[in-house]
Amino acid sequence: MIWLILVLGLILRSISLNQSLWLDEAINVVALTQYSFLGMITEYAKADFHPPLFFIVLWVWTKIFGISEILVRIPSVIFGVTTIYMIYLTGKKIYSEKLGLIAGFLLSINPLHIYYSQEARMYALATLAVSINIFFLVKLLKKEKVNSFFLVASNLAVLASDYVAWLVFPAQFIFLVFFNKNLIKKWSITFLLAVLAGAFWIPTFISQLSVGAVASSRLPTWKFVVGGFDLKTVPLTFVKFIIGRISYPDKTIYGLMLLPLIVIFSSLIFRGFRYIKNWERNLLSCWLVIPIILATIISLYIPIYSYFRILFVLPSFLILTGLGVLSLPYKFKYLSLIIVAAIEIFSSFVYLFNPAYQREDWRGVVSYLKAKKENNLILFESSGTLAPFDYYAKNTVNAKGALKDFPAKDENDVLSIPNDQPDIYLVDYLVDISDPKRLVSQKLINLGYELVGTNDFHGVGFIYHYQKIL
């Protein structure tokens, strides 16, 4: 049965895999063509605030298989499908094979996990690393023999996958302090050995902190993009765990639509919490709750909390949901599972088959601009062109950044723009951060250009067409 679930998970993660690369993916991919192996995990990593494991995997993978939208995402597909299997094993060991199958099935169709299992970034990897790490902890709690090498390796994998995933370690430590002191010594030793094994990364980590501090001071609004504190962040996480990244413009209608779904999942998780006893309940609760609490507290000072960054607690969320299903009387078990599965499958299909909920359409942007007259000037609200544009344009169009630096504070921060260009296209991607006063647009108008057309591209924003007034 688990093999059918794994096949289902693989099929769902293979649909729409050829989406356009979005900004962060494209930055990684372009870097792969510019840096050596060592350069990728030292020089490049300084500006990408993550540990090195995913960069290592992607560099090696692309050197073997090449680069395309599909190829660079296949490692995350593999990580995602493997996580389904690990959650099956964990659920089976915590309670029963039936729980393992239900939890694995729910993860296989979960829209948020599908999304990040299709992204050439480290979040699916971090979720897998944490899942393996928790599985080994469960084996220890059940007094099964676990080779210390595997414990150290699983700790190191978490440390090397994503910084926010580190929050699983204080969650484990708190659990052991309160519910199983006998394992603290072994846990601490294997954790410290993993830290020592990863000590080579400390200089790069310090450089990342320095770069991040400078960026945070120069771009104060960037924290709302990368994960600054917001009262709605925690409830939004709960919603995203259920329906993924799909949304609706009218927030009132959106909230009313979500309310029954929230009630269903909340009641199942509550029942699951009551249904299971002893250390199993405490472990699942610590895994789910403590990283969220810590991420919220840290985000008061350092912007780290976005729902996708704590994807590694989603398996606990779904295991508790599965326990809630099992807690119901027999005649309601299958009905509740069908309802939960229908919600997840519907949400997954909305994402997989509706481009409006997929990644930034940079491929469409470049195709649109290439179809225009030759030698048109394309301006970006930044100090240069952007990686996804470069990936698709391949130097075939005339484009440049319009800002000397950003965020632009006054007209002196806008670069010289030729006033004899018949057509200029302005890409306003992230304009609220880089040019909140719309200084580039104002300069174009002052130079005698008139806005004659606007095109909206999903995720990218508006492309404004300006023509010189004769």
Task: Report d(CA 177, CA 187) in Å as an integer.
Answer: 11
According to the model, what pLDDT value does residue 256 have? 81
Task: Report d(CA 121, CA 298) in Å as an integer.
Answer: 22
According to the model, what pLDDT value does residue 220 have? 55
pLDDT (average), residues 301-320: 91
According to the model, what pLDDT value does residue 222 have? 52
Residue type, 168: V
pLDDT (average), residues 116-123: 96
According to the model, what pLDDT value does residue 213 have? 63
Is a pLDDT exceeding 80 seen at residue 412? yes
Is a pLDDT exceeding 90 seen at residue 349? yes
Task: Report d(CA 78, CA 170) in Å as an integer.
Answer: 28
Q: Are the C-beta atoms of 24 and 226 separated by less than 8 Å?
A: no
pLDDT tens profile 134-187: 999 999 999 999 999 999 999 999 999 999 999 999 999 999 999 999 999 999
**Which of the residue ranges 44-48, 182-186, 266-270, 414-418 would you say has the lowest mean pLDDT?**
44-48
Is a pLDDT exceeding 90 seen at residue 85? yes
Task: Report d(CA 229, CA 210) in Å as an integer.
Answer: 21
pLDDT cut 70: percent of the chain above it: 96
- Per-residue b or e along 174-211, where b marks 16 or more CB atoms closer than 10 Å to that residue's CB: ebbeeebeebeeebeebbebbeeebeebeebbeebeee
Is a pLDDT exceeding 60 seen at residue 280? yes
Is a pLDDT exceeding 80 seen at residue 447? yes
pLDDT cut 90: percent of the chain above it: 68
According to the model, what pLDDT value does residue 438 have? 93
Split at pLDDT 50, 70, 90, the class of 41 is confident
Residue 469 in tokens: 């007034």
According to the model, what pLDDT value does residue 216 have? 57
Split at pLDDT 50, 70, 90, the class of 217 is low
Task: Report d(CA 89, CA 134) in Å as an integer.
Answer: 11
Note the helical H segments in 142-183. Answer: 148-159, 168-179
pLDDT tens profile 219-242: 555 555 555 566 778 888 999 999
Using a 10 angstrom Cβ sphere, with 0-12 exposed, 13-18 middle and 19 or more buried, the burial of residue 382 is: buried
According to the model, what pLDDT value does residue 215 have? 58
How many CB atoms neighbour CB 26 within 10 A?
24
Task: Report d(CA 454, CA 397) in Å as an integer.
Answer: 19
pLDDT (average), residues 52-57: 94
pLDDT (average), residues 1-24: 96
Using a 10 angstrom Cβ sphere, with 0-12 exposed, 13-18 middle and 19 or more buried, the burial of residue 12 is: buried
Query: Domain limits of the chain?
Result: 2-357, 362-468
Task: Report d(CA 271, CA 14) in Å as an integer.
Answer: 34
